[in-house]
A and B are shown apart, each in its own frame.
Chain A
Amino acid sequence: MHVHKYEKIWLTFGIGSLLVFLIVLGWGAFYQGTQPPSCLVTLNPQNVQAHNSFKEENLGVQQVGENEYVVNVLASAFNYDLGKDEEGAPVKKIRIPAGANVTFQATTSDVVHGFHLSGTNVNMMLEPGYISDYETTLDNPGEYTLVCNEYCGVGHHMMSAIVEVYE
């Protein structure tokens, strides 16, 4: 079969890049263990408080180790519940030291919400009945907006909180 010289070039380029992409994908999935943030734990969305992580007193930042934190967040239209402060007012801003190991654990008690810590790789979908979690290290100090990026209703644009990463 006669194949044109140019065809040989673009076929090699196309098959070559396909192989590179597939190898990177497989390496991430099987060697690094990358998986969707909401693939392991399920819970009853009508009674999220039954799960220890989403009990009223466990919401917000918890220090679990020397440089290890867990952030439990319960999303609902149109709010991120990060627990209450000493005066009983809802927390709208949490603080995490730079370089610490942080695990965000979040779920929703009603519709699908987004969980995007803008400017970072923390970007999850929160689905009723599933716990989405993301383990990361926030190295750059600053204020990051936690924002809902899944349209959830009329108050969607007001659904946000602040995560401050301090030195």
Chain B
Amino acid sequence: MSKQSALKQSSAHDVHEVEDIETHEEPNLKGTFAAVMFIGVFIVVSWIGVYALYMYR
């Protein structure tokens, strides 16, 4: 094999790898999203509840 063709081969391999990263499937974060938002909304609602109690009294 000549030096040139070896280079060609390796660059073709690199291109393939880049494509592989870009078309990589996104992780499924639906459950994480639900859990994070549940805790966030819980904190905000409890905070507003305590604040409203303070203002009402």
A interface residues, Cβ below 8 angstroms from B: 4, 6-7, 9-10, 13-14, 17, 21, 24, 119-121
Contact = CB atoms under 8 A, between A and B. Distances in A.
A121 B40 CA distance: 27
B40 A14 contact: yes
Interface string B16-37: 0000000000110110110011
Interface of B: 26-27, 29-30, 32-33, 36-37, 40, 43-44, 47, 51, 54, 57
5 contacts: A4-B26, A4-B27, A6-B33, A10-B33, A24-B51
A6 B29 contact: yes
Contacts of B54: 121
A120 B40 contact: no
A138 to B, nearest CB: 10
B42 to A, nearest CB: 12
